[in-house]
Structure 1
Amino acid sequence: MKWPREKVIRWTGIPFVGLLMTFIIKDHKHEEHSFIINVLVSVLFTGTLWNGAVLIIFKLRDLMPKVSQTNKRLLITYLFVCLFMVVCPNLIRLALGISTWEEIVQFKTIFAHSEINMVAAFMVSSIYEGAYFFSKWKESFALNEQLRNQQIRTQFEVLQNQMSPHFLFNSLNTLTTLIAENPKTAIDFTQTLSEVYRYILQNKEKELVRLSEELAFSESYIFLLQMRYPENLTVHFSIEPALKNLYIAPLTLQMLIENAIKHNVISKTDPLQIDIYVEHDKDLIVKNNLQFKKTLEKSTKTGLANIRKRYQYLGHREIEVIVSQKNYMVVVPLIEMLTEVEFRKELENESIDH
């Protein structure tokens, strides 16, 4: 990350450091030159070395951008900057005619002022890497804060959808009818309704849940919906048992199913079919036939946006929305969590790499 302030500091600092180095480094070959010439030469050296070191630092940062690579990146950066600090001054001296080729290849000339160069390499590498690490830490902190705020907004939206007067009216109306016509089903309906709210309360603060848990919750939620649409709503699941151990952001399925019902006509002549399945062992697909309502229920219009943002904040692949003439499909990436043993092995491998 190249920050504007860094450029300002660098280009204003080069003349100052160049002037300072004129007094620190005494070169007998420069004694016959005027003070101005010596300062200009020193500024040239400083500018070339500083900009070259920054170029190396930024290039290695692009190649190894992760915070977990900090130790490895810092070591390689220091080695490359040190090598640059040794080779570049001699090439500049040769280009300016200050030294001849025969003088440059001598050991004492190659490593002239090596102490200052090594200290400069260490200081420049440390300062830039320290600033980069701090900026990454701030970025991570900000993302965590955004995710926490987004989770709160998501919790509010889900509870708002579930507790809206419209939802309660339909649920209570369905329950009243069931009590009169089928008391046993009414009991099942009430128990399922409590399970839906229990799941929401238990998982509202989690970042991820097992797909198996989300599917079980979705089946309970669908049971309630099918009381309202007994013959006009069909939801079909097709997921292999082994894939149910993968993870998903909680309440994702509920929001996508609610979106499908909210935006599409459901009637005897136009039944709604929702298919939920997995492709390529990593993508959860929620697909429904497309039959948009002409007039929509009042909506916050943030359900899909919230899911998309949560996955962005979690650092995983983004969700995809695919619309055709007949179908509306949302692709949600499934997430594989490492076990404690796998996580420790991963840490060991990283430490070996460093």
Structure 2
Amino acid sequence: MPGYSFLKILNRYRYFRLFAILLVFIVLYLLNFLINPFSAYWKDYFDKDIWVNATDWMATLVFCALICEASVFAARILDKRLPWTESPFKRFALQITVQILMVVIIIYGIFSICSIFFTDNKTLSLEEQLDIWQFIYVCILVSILISATHTGNFLLVKWKNSMLEASALKLKTAELKEIAMQAELQSLKLQLDPHFMFNNFSTLSELISEDQGKASLFLENLSRVYRYMIVNLHKNIISLEEELKFVQSYIYLIKIRHGENLHIQIDIPASGYEKGIPPITLQLLIENAIKHNMATRKSPLRIHIYMEEEEHLIIRNNLQKISYILPTTQLGLKNIESRYKILSKKIPLIQKDETDFTVYLPLLSIV
């Protein structure tokens, strides 16, 4: 219940305040004794009447309570008016000054009240006067210690809250970045469909009029390829084994389109099947090579797909650049690079010389 929780917190707060006052009470007596253990006040301390000492203790407890409350109150007011973060040196000087003034006022007030009820017109000796000044100094020191403890706790809580806020902000930023990356990745994946389907529907329309048997087989492989693309649309990384199965169906489709003008050789050891790459990457690279190179029966386009030390998948084709410039959607290599940047710190390496065009695809771990 909210009411019960509030009372519980209030009780804990009261117990803490009581503990703090008792601690200040002990420290006050201890410091007074350690500074001057030979004072007249301590010579016959334990020989005094118990009620005299009890009265002294009660007065000191009230005094300690006043110092505690005044010190905490002053620190809270200054936290609002002049925070430590704005001007620490000015705040330090002001807080010390306020603490000293409050202690002097409290001591003067208590001594004034005591003089009303306990008037004996006795002249204080030099030693007694020194004891009083010592008591004032100790009270000021204790007040400063209380204020320092409160301020340290305040700054610690502020630091803890700022760290929690910074952690929460980092977590939120990471979540938003992840959402943005996933959205970008999905956008890049969706761009593949029109580019892929346009070429193959054109081929299918030609086969239907020429050879319905081939058209039926072509359509069957096309459906397998398209099913693969749909099933893996939401996957970021696919195993090399699955990608190669997809590529075999895809190669059938492009063989129908290009015949013996295109030679594709795949040399992947079984040990590399468990490695991963972004889905539909090989299809893009093969399509990219076909689009930008000539392929004839006398000078076929040769594409070689193989592995290098199970770290890279290499796709190499001979360069036979077409003599005219085709309009491009700029999907191919740019799409692959963008996906790798999202998924990994490893980036594909592209090498080009007079005879070959080579792409080194980093192999990824499948989580």
Give TM class, smaller chain. 0.5 to 0.7
Q: Which amino acid aligns with 1:295?
A: Y
SS at match of 1:231: helix
Distance verdict in 2 for CA 1:315–1:259, change over 3 Å: same
Cα offset, 1:259, TM superposition: 0.7
Distance verdict in 2 for CA 1:132–1:285, change over 3 Å: farther
Are residues 1:190 and 2:213 paired? Answer: no
Distance verdict in 2 for CA 1:300–1:13, change over 3 Å: farther
SS at match of 2:339: helix
Cα offset, 1:195, TM superposition: 0.3
Larger radius of gyration: 2
State how far apart, in whole Å, the 2-side matches of 1:161 and 1:189 are.
18
Find the partner of 2:93 among 22, 35, 39: 22
SS at match of 1:276: strand
State how far apart, in whole Å, the 2-side matches of 1:312 and 1:19 are.
51
Distance verdict in 2 for CA 1:150–1:306, change over 3 Å: farther
Find the partner of 2:202 among 165, 169, 179: 169
Cα offset, 1:18, TM superposition: 3.4
Residue correspondence of structure 1 range 71-220 to structure 2 within 5 A: 113=148, 116-117=151-152, 120=155, 123-124=158-159, 126-127=161-162, 129-164=163-198, 166-179=199-212, 183=213, 185-220=214-249
1:227-285 C-alpha deviation (Å, 9 max, x unpaired): 11111111111111121111211111111111111111111232111111111212111
Q: Which amino acid aligns with 1:142?
A: L
SS at match of 1:229: helix
Distance verdict in 2 for CA 1:141–1:222, change over 3 Å: same
Query: Does the 8 A contact of 1:147 with 1:310 survive in 2?
Result: no
Cα offset, 1:320, TM superposition: 1.6
The share of aligned pairs that are identical, in percent, is: 27
Q: Which amino acid aligns with 1:154?
A: L
State how far apart, in whole Å, the 2-side matches of 1:297 and 1:202 are.
31
SS at match of 1:277: strand
- Give the equivalent residue in structure 2 for 1:351: none
Unpaired segments ≥5 residues, structure 2: 1-82, 102-146
Q: Which amino acid aligns with 1:300?
A: T
| RMSD (Å), alpha carbons | 3.1
Query: Does the 8 A contact of 2:238 with 2:366 survive in 1?
Result: no
- Give the equivalent residue in structure 1 for 2:259: 230
Cα offset, 1:26, TM superposition: 6.2
State how far apart, in whole Å, the 2-side matches of 1:144 and 1:174 are.
44
Unpaired segments ≥5 residues, structure 1: 1-11, 32-111, 339-354
Cα offset, 1:139, TM superposition: 3.4
Q: Which amino acid aligns with 2:174?
A: S
State how far apart, in whole Å, the 2-side matches of 1:234 and 1:199 are.
23
Runs of 4+ displaced beyond 6 Å: none
Cα offset, 1:220, TM superposition: 0.6
State how far apart, in whole Å, the 1-side matches of 2:188 and 2:359 are.
18
Cα offset, 1:27, TM superposition: 11
